[in-house]
């Protein structure tokens, strides 16, 4: 549409070209970044999740909501290679080989993917950070794992990322345990995003934080998703968080998807009885 060109008109500074050129890539993309087909996982006789299928497009944030026990964390584990599903396919559009079923990848290949193109943000930063290693070391580790060797450059990248997640770069040599919960969470995000991943899995990334800290983190995540063209699968039980962060929603109950759609459509005009109950149960402030 010509209007898109018009809106970017008059921009000629070099550093801005990158931001402007990221848009067509999102809009013109004809292939999903992640295609999930009939993923299922049982724990003995109990269903973890079943019949899960969806596509995730580049630059899109997909929220997965439901009560605890609805299977959303199981699903996230299956997608990110932390759990082994009993069946189904998880096709990821790799940079060099196109769509590959990550469930049938060799372990070294999957580990490489997890260190480069994927990010995983845990609810508890302690699960995603190395608590005995400095903040700079936490961020730099992922770069070293992908072959970076130049100490000065690694430290520079780490410092740059601490700045992006609003951590004072003067604290680059401090251990994460000296940080507040909100800072630890931002450090975990920096550690994950330093390699420029295309897909982030997030498990309740704002859970356990004070509301004021939550707001700052939400704003940070929104900016990163927009600027990096990052796609994300975001698991949370917090409908206010998905309203602000997710483009699209999947509602899960008893391990199954009961409803999907545009985020504000699912929240404002829920079709399934369970979603209606979920939406009407939120406390108004």
Partner 1 sequence: MIEVQNVSKEFTLHNQGGAVLRVMEGASLTVAKGECVALTGASGAGKSTLMRMIWGNYRTDHGMIRVGDAQISGAEPRRIIALRRSTLGYVSQFLRVVPRVPTVRVVAEPLLALGVAEEEAEARAAALLTRLNIGENLWGLSPTTFSGGEQQRVNIARGFIHPYPALLLDEPTASLDAANRETVMRLIEEAKMRGAAILGIFHDEAARERLCDRQVDVAGFVPGRAA
Contacts with partner 1 by CB under 8 A lie at 1, 3-4, 6-8, 10-11, 13, 15-16, 19-23, 27, 57, 60, 211-212, 215-216, 218-219, 222, 226, 243-244, 247-248, 261-262, 264-265, 267-269, 271-273, 276-277, 280
Closer by beta carbon to partner 1, 22 or else 124: 22
Q: How far is the CB of 180 from partner 1 (least distance, A)?
A: 16
**Residue placing its CB nearer to partner 1 in the complex, 133 or 218:** 218
Instruction: Please state, in angstroms and rounded to a whole number, the distance separating the CA atoms of residues 136 and 158.
Output: 5
Q: In DSSP terms, which residues pair with 119 in a beta bridge?
A: 200
Cβ-based nearer residue to partner 1, 27 or 131: 27
- Phi, psi angle pair for 240, to nearest 5°: -65, -35
Closest CA to 118 of 157, 78, 80, 147: 80
CB of 7 to partner 1, least distance (A): 5
DSSP-assigned letter for residue 269: S
Closer to partner 1 by CB, 208 or 261: give it: 261
Give me the helices (H) in the chain, please.
2-7, 14-28, 72-79, 107-116, 125-128, 135-145, 151-164, 181-193, 211-228, 239-245, 263-268, 273-280
Give the residue with the Cβ less far from partner 1, 106 or 280: 280
Nearest distance from C-beta of residue 17 to partner 1, angstroms: 9
Min CB(149)–partner 1 separation in Å: 33
Q: Which residue has the tokens 């504000």?
A: 264
């Amino acid at each position: 549409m010509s209007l898109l060109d018009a809106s970017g008109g008059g921009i000629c500074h070099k550093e801005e070209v990158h931001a402007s050129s990221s848009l067509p890539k999102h809009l013109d993309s004809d292939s999903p970044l992640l295609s999930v087909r009939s993923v299922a996982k049982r724990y003995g006789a109990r269903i973890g999740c079943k019949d899960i299928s969806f596509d995730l497009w580049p630059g899109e944030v997909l929220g997965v909501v439901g009560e605890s026990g609805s299977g959303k964390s199981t699903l996230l584990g299956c997608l990110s290679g932390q759990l082994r599903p009993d069946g189904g396919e998880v096709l990821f559009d790799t940079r060099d080989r196109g769509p590959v079923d990550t469930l049938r990848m060799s372990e070294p290949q999957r580990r490489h993917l997890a260190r480069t193109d994927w990010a995983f943000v845990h609810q508890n930063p302690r699960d995603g950070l190395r608590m005995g290693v400095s903040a700079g070391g936490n961020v730099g580790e992922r770069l070293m794992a992908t072959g970076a060797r130049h100490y000065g450059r690694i430290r520079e990248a780490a410092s740059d990322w601490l700045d992006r997640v609003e951590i004072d770069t003067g604290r680059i040599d401090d251990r994460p345990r000296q940080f507040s919960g909100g800072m630890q969470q931002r450090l975990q995000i920096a550690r994950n995003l330093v390699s420029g991943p295309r897909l982030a899995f997030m498990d309740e990334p704002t859970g356990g934080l004070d509301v004021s800290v939550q707001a700052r983190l939400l704003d940070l995540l929104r900016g990163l998703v927009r600027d990096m063209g990052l796609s994300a699968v975001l698991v949370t039980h917090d409908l206010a968080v998905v309203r602000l962060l997710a483009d699209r929603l999947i509602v899960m109950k008893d391990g199954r998807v009961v409803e999907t759609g545009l985020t504000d459509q699912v929240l404002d005009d829920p079709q399934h009885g369970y979603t209606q109950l979920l939406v009407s149960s939120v406390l108004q402030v």
